[in-house]
Amino acid sequence: ALTAGIVGLPNVGKSTLFNAITQAGAEAANYPFATIDPNVGIVEVPDNRLDKLTELVKPKKTIPTTFEFTDIAGIVKGASKGEGLGNQFLANIRQVDAIVQVVRCFADENVTHVSGKIDPVDDMETINLELILADLETVTKRIQRVEKMARQKDKEAVAEYDVLTKVKEGLEAEQPVRVLEFSEEQWKIVKGLHLLTSKPALYAANVSEEEVQDPDGNEHVQKVKEYAAAEHAEVITVCAKIEEEISELDQEEKELFLEDLGIAEAGLDQLIKASYSLLGLGTFFTAGEPEVRAWTFRKGMTAPQAAGVIHSDFERGFIRAETVSYEDLIEAGSMATAREHGNVRLEGKDYIVQDGDVIHFRFNV
Ligand code: GDP
């Protein structure tokens, strides 16, 4: 499964947020095959559509889909030079698919800040610079390897050399690779380099308990947003401390608590959704009487590939995907009516699955 790594300087609230994630955690009974790794927190992906489908189908059981966050400890200034747990830190980032950077925007005299003051933009620059320097090292080494082949006019080497040069120029101008522009062909080469700053990223601005209602009133949050906008990255505001408290509550208590605080949606829920879409993930549903269930697919997947998310047998024996969009099904009020309206399509193996599709797979065993 794809995973988003949580990074940030010390004392910004990473552990607090990760604690909230593991406590809110997905019900293990529903996901018996999930990997047990203390650095991985598995959460259920909040989705109103699943509640609506449950009302409509009245199944015995409803199962949300899940998302994994990975806790990545230990970045400090100088990590790219191997300081602190530098090398381990970078190796851990290399293994995740997206980066969630927690940025401290809360003031609290009792919690020291590594550089002595609250300055989120400075913190973001510090971390991003370490990642850029690490990538620069990777790219420089790679250039040395392909340079000679490129000079001999080896076609592939020339193409890679061009990409590497462009990446290097960008990094030297302190730009993360994800903001650079490449052709589709070139992106394939970039992906193959597994650079840290080519991974999609978003920022989680950690605000205080007092500010969670109106995070935009916090000047630090504004600065984080300006910085993020320059690299087209999203910013989610959370109060890690409150999320930790919420994670101990059941659904009903949680809703009351949020209402009391005057918050429409928990920060963690927003973070889960944002991370999910950052990775290009979508949700399709299966809706039978025994079970209504949400499944994660990568956008662009064909119907047989999506069937494979459920079981490899479904992919191998794929015949057709009986498909209705969530909206059409809800509007019709029942599967039978949706069918009468002609909203249930029989899709074949080339069908590209859409977010919100409710699918019944037909397959040979
Ligand atoms: P980490 O080093 O980034 O993992 O940071 P921690 O999660 O350990 O948090 C460092 C300290 O900041 C702890 O004492 C937390 O209780 C506190 N802290 C974290 N988030 C918040 C928050 O939203 N508000 C306040 N007031 N304190 C927080």
Q: Domain limits of the chain?
A: 3-45+64-119+198-278, 130-195, 300-363
Q: To test ligand 1's pocket by mutation, which of 89, 108, 220 has the most ligand atoms within 8 angstroms of CB? A: 108
How many whole angstroms from 241 Cα to the centroid of ligand 1?
7
Overall CATH class of domain 3-45+64-119+198-278: alpha beta
Whole-number pLDDT of residue 97: 96
Structure pTM? Answer: 0.91
What are the backbone angles phi and psi of residue 169, rounded to the nearest 5°? -60, -45
Q: To test ligand 1's pocket by mutation, which of 7, 9, 11 has the most ligand atoms within 8 angstroms of CB? A: 11
Q: What is the ipTM of this complex?
A: 0.94
Instruction: Indicate if ligand 1 lies below 6 Å from the C-beta of 267.
Output: no
CA pair distance 9, 11, nearest whole angstrom? 7
Provide the 3-class DSSP secondary structure of residue 51.
helix
Q: Which residue bears the tokens 């598995």?
A: 42
Which residue type, as a one-letter code, is found at position 356?
Answer: G
Whole-number pLDDT of residue 88: 80
Whole-number pLDDT of residue 160: 96
Q: Partners of 359 in the beta sheet?
A: 323
**Equal CATH topology for 3-45+64-119+198-278 and 130-195:** no
Overall CATH class of domain 130-195: mainly alpha
Encode the chain (365 residues) as per-residue pLDDT tens digits.
899 999 999 889 999 999 999 888 777 667 766 666 778 999 999 999 999 999 999 999 999 999 999 999 766 666 666 665 567 888 899 999 999 999 999 987 777 777 778 899 999 999 999 999 999 999 999 999 999 999 998 899 999 999 999 999 999 999 999 999 999 999 999 999 999 999 999 999 999 988 888 888 889 999 999 999 999 999 999 999 999 999 999 989 999 999 998 888 999 999 999 999 999 999 999 999 999 999 999 999 999 999 999 999 999 999 999 999 999 999 999 999 999 999 999 999 999 999 999 999 999 98
CA pair distance 28, 42, nearest whole angstrom? 9
Instruction: Indicate if ligand 1 lies below 6 Å from the C-beta of 112.
Output: no
How many whole angstroms from 203 Cα to the centroid of ligand 1?
16
Q: Enumerate residues 6+ apart whose C-beta is below 8 A from 109.
A: none
Nearest protein CA to atom 9 of ligand 1, as residue = 13
Whole-number pLDDT of residue 75: 64
Both tokens of 164, joined, read 């590497």
Whole-number pLDDT of residue 76: 63
Whole-number pLDDT of residue 101: 97
Both tokens of 330, joined, read 């809800």
CA pair distance 291, 357, nearest whole angstrom? 16
Nearest protein CA to atom 11 of ligand 1, as residue = 11
Instruction: Indicate if ligand 1 lies below 6 Å from the C-beta of 16.
Output: yes
Buried b (16+ CB within 10 A) or exposed e, 236-257: bbbbbbbbbebbeeeeeebeee
How many whole angstroms from 126 Cα to the centroid of ligand 1?
19
How many whole angstroms from 16 Cα to the centroid of ligand 1?
6
Provide the 3-class DSSP secondary structure of residue 118.
coil
Whole-number pLDDT of residue 34: 64
How many whole angstroms from 358 Cα to the centroid of ligand 1?
41
CA 231 from centre of chain: 17
Instruction: Indicate if ligand 1 lies below 6 Å from the C-beta of 245.
Output: no
Which letter does DSSP use for residue 186 in this model?
Answer: H
Both tokens of 82, joined, read 């191997």
Angle at which helices 219-230 and 120-151 pack, to 10 degrees? Answer: 10
What separation in angstroms does the CA of 345 have from each of 27, 335, 357? Answer: 33, 12, 11
Which letter does DSSP use for residue 61 in this model?
Answer: E
Overall CATH class of domain 300-363: alpha beta
Whole-number pLDDT of residue 87: 75
Both tokens of 235, joined, read 């910013």
Whole-number pLDDT of residue 84: 59
